[in-house]
Structure 1
Amino acid sequence: MRHTLLASITVVAGLLAFLVSCATGTSSVPGKNLLDLINEKRTAAGCPAVLGSSELRSAADRHAVDMRDNKAHLQPNTDGHTGSDGSRPGQRIASAGFAPLSRYGEILYFSESTSSEAATVNWWMNSPAHKAIMLDCQFTHAGVGLLYPGGTKWYAVVDFGKH
C-alpha cells in the first residue's frame, strides 16, 4: 500500500510539473517553443505544420554542439553547414536515422549575445534563403538543436526532412 501511494504521488507530481510547464510556455522538449514558432509561420504561409522528429533533433543537436565547440567553420566566408569533420546536413540527418530521406534542409542561427526563439525566427524570416527552407511546404518533419551556454551565446540549428 505504501509503495502504491508513493507511486501515485510521483505520477501526480509529474503531471503537475507538466501542466505548469505548459501553462508558462516552457517545455521540457528541447527546442519545442522554437518549433512552435516555426509552425506558426508555416501555417500562416499556407504550409502544414512539421512534426517533431527525434532523429532530426539528434542531427541538429550534433551540429549545434559542433558549432559551439569548433568555431572555425562559423567565420566569414565559410559554410556553417559543413561540420568540423566535413559532414554535410544530409549526411548528419541520414546517420541520425531519418530514413529514407527524400528531401532535407537546414537553417542555422548564431549570436554572440543572448537571443530568444522569437528573435531567431524573426532573423530567419528576414533572410530569403532561410525563409525559403523554413516555409518549404514539402517538409513534413523537423528537429531543433538549441544551445545557450552560460546565457551569453546562442546556437540554433533546425533540420527539416521528408521521407
Structure 2
Amino acid sequence: MKKRVYVTAAAAILTALWCQTAFAGQWVEDPSRPANENGRTNWWYQRDDGTYPAGGWEWLDGNGDGTAESYRFDENGWMYASTTVDGYAVNENGAWVENGAVMTKQVSGQAADTKQAAGWHDDEYGRRYSDSKGNYVTGWKRIDGKRYYFFEDGYMASGLQSVDGGEYYFYSDGELAEKTVYSESDGVYYVIDKEEHYVIDVVDEEDWPEYRREADREYVEISDISDEEKNDVSGIRYPDQESALESGINHDLAMECFDLINEERIKRGIEPLEYRDEIQEAVDIRAEEIVEKFSHTRPDGSSCFTVFDEVGVDGRAMGENIAAGQRTPAAAVNSWMNSSGHKANILNEQFTEGAIGCYYDPDSSYGYHWVQLFNRS
C-alpha cells in the first residue's frame, strides 16, 4: 500500500518515524486539486532529496516491503489513477494492473531507494535511461554522442518506428541508424537519408540491385550498409558464393564495385561519378568480351571505346579499366588502386560519369571479370 500523507505537521511526525527504516520518499496529496480529473489525481511522490518522478512510469516501493509497483506520472508529476495510460491500465491506487492483478517487481532491501542511479536500466520490458536527477528520460536523447528515442513510458525505441511524423530505424541497442540498414528478418533494406537520418525508402531484397543503380547518391547512403546489430554487410562474400552465383552478368557485384570507386574519389575531394544506364549497357558488353579476350582491344580487333558508339553514348573523354580473377568488388578496386595507370583513371577529375560491369564464368580461367568505363558528359 502507498503511504499517502498530507503536507502538514502530522506528515512530519510520520516522516520522523520512517527515518528509522530509511524509506526513500513519501506520497503527498494536494487537497486544493480535484481528487481525479480525467485520470490525473492530486497525488505526487516526493523523494527524500526533494525530487519527484514526472513524465513517465516509475517503480516505487512506497511501504518498504521489498516489492515495488509501477505508477504513471504526468509531465508535472501528478499520478494517474483509474484510467488507461500508454495502453496500460492503472487502478484506483495508481498501480499498473493486468487483468485486475497489480504488477509488481522485487527490489533489493526493505528500504530500496526509488531514485534510479544515472545510466541504463534493464528489466523484462526493455531498456530505460535515467538522468542525473534519477528521472527516466523521454523523447530524443543524445547519449555518448549517439542519438536514441524513448517513449512516454521511458522505454527505448528499437527497429522501425514512427516518431514526430517521420519514420526512423533504431538498431537493437537503440542507437539511431544514420546509414542504410539491411534487415535479414524483414527481407528489406531501410534506406536512410544522409542529412536528417529518417527512413526515405524501404526496398525489398529482390529490388535492391535496380534501386542502387537508380538511387540519388546525393541524398541517400547505399554503399555503406549495416545489419540490425550494426555489423558491416557491404562487401561481404561467403566461401560458398560461387555455388549461389549464376553464370553471366552480375549487377549486384558491379554496383557494389561502383560505389567503392566513388568512395575513393570522395575521400580525395573528387566529385563522384554519375551512374549512367547507357554506359552500364556498354560495360556489360565489354565484361563478357574480356572473358574471350582479356585486352583493351575487342574480339573483332577494334578499340574498346567503339562500344560507346554501339550503345549511343557520345564519348568525349574516355577511359577503361579491366581486371580478372578478383572474387570481390573490394579486391577489384584494391587491384586497380595499386596500379598507377588504373588509379589515374579512377581519380581523373575530367571523368564525370561511368559504370562497372561484372561477368562471372565458372568455366573460364579467371571466373570473375571486371570492366569500368569512364566518360566526360
Task: Find the residue that maps to 1:150 and give its secondary structure.
Answer: coil
CA contact (8 A) 1:89 1:105 kept: no
Task: Find the residue that maps to 2:362 and give its secondary structure.
Answer: helix
CA contact (8 A) 1:30 1:144 kept: no
What is the correspondence of 1:1-163 to structure 2 with a 5 Å cutoff?
Answer: 16-18=203-205, 21=208, 25=234, 31-68=254-291, 70=292, 73-74=293-294, 80-99=295-314, 101-111=315-325, 115-150=327-362, 153-163=367-377
User: 5+ residue gaps in structure 2?
Assistant: 1-186, 189-201, 209-221, 226-232, 236-249
Q: CA deviation at 1:160?
A: 0.6
CA contact (8 A) 2:360 2:368 kept: yes
- Aligned equivalents of 2:305, 2:358: Cα separation in 1: 19
Task: Find the residue that maps to 1:31 and give its secondary structure.
Answer: helix
CA contact (8 A) 2:359 2:369 kept: yes
Q: CA deviation at 1:120?
A: 0.5
Alpha carbons of 1:91 and 1:53: their partners in 2 closer, same or farther (altered >3 Å)? Answer: same
Q: CA deviation at 1:46?
A: 1.9
Q: Look up the match of 1:5.
A: none
Alpha carbons of 1:93 and 1:66: their partners in 2 closer, same or farther (altered >3 Å)? Answer: same
- Aligned equivalents of 2:318, 2:253: Cα separation in 1: 20
Alpha carbons of 1:95 and 1:30: their partners in 2 closer, same or farther (altered >3 Å)? Answer: farther
- Aligned equivalents of 2:275, 2:282: Cα separation in 1: 13
Q: CA deviation at 1:42?
A: 0.8
Q: CA deviation at 1:33?
A: 0.6
Alpha carbons of 1:53 and 1:127: their partners in 2 closer, same or farther (altered >3 Å)? Answer: same
Could you tell me which amino acid in structure 1 is paired with residue 356 of structure 2?
V
Task: Find the residue that maps to 1:137 and give its secondary structure.
Answer: coil
Alpha carbons of 1:140 and 1:149: their partners in 2 closer, same or farther (altered >3 Å)? Answer: same
Write 1 or 2 for the structure with the bigger share of strand. 2
Write 1 or 2 for the structure with the bigger share of helix. 1
Q: CA deviation at 1:130?
A: 0.4
Alpha carbons of 1:143 and 1:28: their partners in 2 closer, same or farther (altered >3 Å)? Answer: closer
CA RMSD of aligned residues (A): 2.7
- Aligned equivalents of 1:89, 1:45: Cα separation in 2: 28
- Aligned equivalents of 1:20, 1:143: Cα separation in 2: 19
Task: Find the residue that maps to 2:204 and give its secondary structure.
Answer: helix
- Aligned equivalents of 1:148, 1:20: Cα separation in 2: 21
User: 5+ residue gaps in structure 1?
Assistant: 1-12, 75-79
Alpha carbons of 1:16 and 1:142: their partners in 2 closer, same or farther (altered >3 Å)? Answer: closer
Could you tell me which amino acid in structure 2 is paired with residue 105 of structure 1?
G
Q: More relative contact order in 1 or in 2 (CA 8 Å, sep 6+)?
A: 1
Could you tell me which amino acid in structure 1 is paired with residue 313 of structure 2?
F
Alpha carbons of 1:61 and 1:20: their partners in 2 closer, same or farther (altered >3 Å)? Answer: closer
CA contact (8 A) 2:253 2:329 kept: no
- Aligned equivalents of 2:274, 2:328: Cα separation in 1: 21
Alpha carbons of 1:19 and 1:67: their partners in 2 closer, same or farther (altered >3 Å)? Answer: closer
Q: Give TM-score scaled by structure 1 length.
A: 0.75
CA contact (8 A) 2:253 2:328 kept: no
Q: Give TM-score scaled by structure 2 length.
A: 0.34
- Aligned equivalents of 1:28, 1:121: Cα separation in 2: 16
- Aligned equivalents of 1:16, 1:38: Cα separation in 2: 23
